[in-house]
């Protein structure tokens, strides 16, 4: 029988291949520090940006419908001001398209800042063209804003590709 710290066999003098351990060293942990890397960014994706994007898309479509109904009403009952509706149609129609694009970008998890601006712009649209229940639409816009603010890490940016 060879002692625990023997390097050679006491009978045949063959070299023993035992791992060298110093007493107590195997229980110590090495402290290692790593900088912020790609692996620290959460890889799990939730449905939060998709839900916020869906809210923005719904708000944009409802606002487009409100603009359409307003144009029909003006052309039927107030034809004398129908010529002056061009500027509001362009402004609010463009804003609705911007909110719609922001909703799609939120669903794709792209351009977080732009989607946040589109979410704020949806407040203006809801205030002007809130069709069925403007209070509910404002609450949904607030929910979309909070969801987008909390799910920033899920959005893809050029620096993290």
Digit-coded pLDDT (tens) for 3-47: 777 788 878 888 877 665 555 555 555 555 555 555 555 556 788
The predicted model scores a pTM of 0.64
Residue-level pLDDT at 161 = 45
Q: Residue 73 half-sphere exposure, CB side, CA atoms within 13 Å?
A: 6
Q: What is the pLDDT of residues 62-84, one digit of tens each?
A: 888 888 888 888 888 888 887 88
The whole-angstrom separation of Cα 16 and Cα 8 is: 5
Distance CA 46, CA 122 (A): 23
Dist. CA 52–CA 143, nearest whole Å: 8
- In Å, how far are 11, 53, 81, 105, 147 from 124, measured between CA atoms? 92, 17, 23, 19, 19
Question: In residues, how long is the chain?
Answer: 161
Q: What is the mean pLDDT of residues 54-65?
A: 87
In 3-state terms, what secondary structure has residue 78? coil
**Is 118 in a helix, a strand, or coil?**
helix
Contact (CB, 8 A) for 141 and 126: yes
**Tokens describing residue 52:** 């916020």
Output the DSSP codes for 92-103.
HHHHHHHHHHHH
Q: What rounded mean pLDDT belongs to the chain?
A: 78
What is the structure's pLDDT at 131? 56
């Amino acid at each position: 029988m060879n002692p625990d710290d023997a390097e050679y066999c006491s009978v045949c003098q063959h070299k023993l291949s035992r791992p060298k351990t110093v007493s107590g060293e195997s229980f110590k942990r090495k402290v290692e520090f790593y900088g912020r890397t790609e692996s620290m960014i959460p890889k799990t994706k939730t449905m939060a940006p998709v839900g916020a994007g869906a809210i923005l898309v719904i708000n944009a479509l409802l606002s487009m419908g409100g603009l359409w109904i307003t144009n029909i009403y003006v052309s039927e009952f107030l034809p004398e001001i129908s010529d002056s509706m061009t500027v509001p149609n362009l402004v609010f129609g463009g804003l609705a398209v911007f909110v719609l694009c922001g909703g799609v970008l939120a669903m794709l998890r792209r351009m977080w800042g732009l989607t946040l601006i589109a979410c704020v712009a949806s407040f203006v649209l809801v205030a002007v063209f809130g069709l069925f229940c403007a209070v509910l639409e404002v609450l949904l816009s607030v929910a979309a804003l909070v969801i987008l603010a909390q799910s920033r890490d899920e959005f893809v940016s050029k620096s993290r590709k």
